[in-house]
Amino acid sequence: MEPKVTKFDLIILGASGFTGKYVLKEALKFLNKSPLNSIAIAGRNPTKLSQTLKWASNPNPPPTITILPADTSDPSSLRSLCSQTRLILNCVGPFRLHGESVVSACVDSGCDYLDICGEPEFMERMESDYHDRAGETGSLVVSACGFDSVPAELGLLFNSLQWVGPAVPNRVEAYVSLESRKRIVGNFATYESAVLGVANAKDLQAFRRSRPRRRPRPQIPGPSPSKGQTIEHQKKIGLWAVVLPSADASVVRRTLSTLTEEPNGLPGSNESSETVQKREAFWSSVKPTHFGVKIGSKSLFGILRIIMVGICIGLFGSTGFGRWLLLKFPSLFSLGWFRKNGPSEEEVESASFKMWFVGRGFSNGSLASQENTKHDMEIVTRVTGPEVGYVATPIILVQCALILLSQRKNLPKGGVYPPGIVFGPTDLQQKLQQNGISFDVISKSTISS
């Protein structure tokens, strides 16, 4: 008789990385409490993984956690991981370089997959190449379960739910503000992912054009938004702001597009009738809107610094030599925002974020179709939380994982999806609130813009 293989509830792949170690630390808080009874960690270097485990459990002695060998360039090691777990949390990036083999192994084996990717091209390619097969094998693949892009996804849904009929939103603009009592610093891999994203921006456009079927767009009442000024002064929230070319807008678009195809959301693999009702009621209250994301700063000087870094990465990122320079001297070219060895623990602890959602629309949906109509209503909501990359991201990833483990039957059998459409109707928002990420209504007002 074959020996019975006991599966780990989850495996953290890349736990020795800068983000992975914080993900492990966060996951350990929930170990041995239902639904998380077992964790394994995996990667290339067992010594580093074992040191990471000590760091993550400090001041407690490290619990007994299995360390598994895995290399994203070795598919057999990934197949072996998948045979030993229900769920992989992938923290190995840049995802465009390392992610596909992990998705492929999960999809082949029917194992579930969550990651902290913020790279639109990777996510859209995985959706295009693996969605159908993942549906067949029962593998649920959800990227962007970190600061990219759960605050944007849930924050937009939260703002949309504040518009009570006959009021309808037309556009929600999100303004991200990063704050710190010390310096705001990110680790090199995030910077590398951004540089490679800029270098390959044309490939993403070409890929989108080459897709045989355009995703449906939601019907949004009212006019399409105008482009607006390059630098905006948002007086209401006291920020100067400029467009942030992050993954958020594209991830939200995918959620809204899936919702257009499936107006009741995605059926779970084995939902109770009560859950079906709850899911359908949730999605019927969501009103799609145009959505954009800007990065904000309290001073005009702060915005000019951000623009300078953006121009630098845009210019240098388009040539091989330029990219070499950008990646060789991250601190110089990012004006100190990214470092090879990442932020110190104090820098991580002293940082936080605010993400404002300024929603504009109509107090009555009938106004939306009138000629030369103007917004007459504004609803401002806000998501706030701790440092984005190494505190908020692990909290979000771990809460998504706990929901997946405890409520698997309420989630789709399989497929490649963005987080909003999968976790929107679950209690993810409440769980995030319980763990330090808040969602608040700031104001509801009539306007005369």
The answer to whether the CB of 166 falls within 8 A of the CB of 363 is: yes
Contacts by 219-223 with C-beta closer than 8 Å and gap 24+? 219/260, 219/288, 220/170, 220/288, 220/289, 220/290, 221/168, 221/170, 221/361, 221/362, 221/365, 221/368, 221/369, 222/168, 222/170, 222/361, 222/362, 222/368, 222/369, 222/373, 222/375, 223/170, 223/373
- 395: tokens are 């909290």
Regarding 113 and contact with ligand NAP (CB under 6 A), the answer is: no
Query: Considering beta carbons, is residue 246 or 257 the nearer one to ligand NAP?
Result: 246
* Dihedral Cα 240, 162, 393, 85, nearest 10 deg: -160
95 binds ligand NAP (CB under 6 A): yes
Residue nearest to ligand NAP (CB): 93
Task: Tell me the C-alpha distance between 255 and 309, whole Å.
Answer: 30
339 near 185, Cβ under 8 Å? yes
Among 68, 139, 140, 146, binds ligand NAP (CB under 6 A): 146
In the complex, what is the shortest distance from the CB of residue 111 to ligand NAP, in angstroms, rounded to a whole number? 16
Locus of tokens 């001041």? 59
- 73 lies in the site for ligand NAP, by CB under 6 A: yes
For ligand NAP, the closer of residues 330 and 389 by Cβ is 389
User: Is 14 among the residues that bind ligand NAP (CB under 6 A)?
Assistant: yes
| Residue 34 CA: distances (Å) to CA of 40, 63, 114, 140, 402 | 16, 17, 19, 21, 9
19 binding ligand NAP? (CB under 6 A): yes
* Per-position x/- string for 380-399, each x denoting binding to ligand NAP as judged by CB under 6 A, each - no binding: ---------x---x------
Query: If binding is defined by CB under 6 A, does position 93 make contact with ligand NAP?
Result: yes
Q: 299: helix, coil or strand? A: coil
Q: What is the smallest separation between the CB atom of 375 and ligand NAP, expressed in angstroms? A: 31
Q: To the nearest whole angstrom, how small is the minimum distance from the Cβ of residue 262 to ligand NAP?
A: 25
- Smallest distance, ligand NAP to C-beta of residue 260, A: 25
Interface stretch with ligand NAP, choices 67-75, 206-214, 292-300, 371-379 (CB under 6 A): 67-75
Give the binding range for ligand NAP (CB under 6 A) out of 39-47, 229-237, 252-260, 367-375: 39-47
- Which parts of this chain interact with ligand NAP (CB under 6 A)? 14, 16-20, 43-45, 48, 70-73, 91-95, 98, 116, 118, 146-148, 187, 189-190, 193, 389, 393
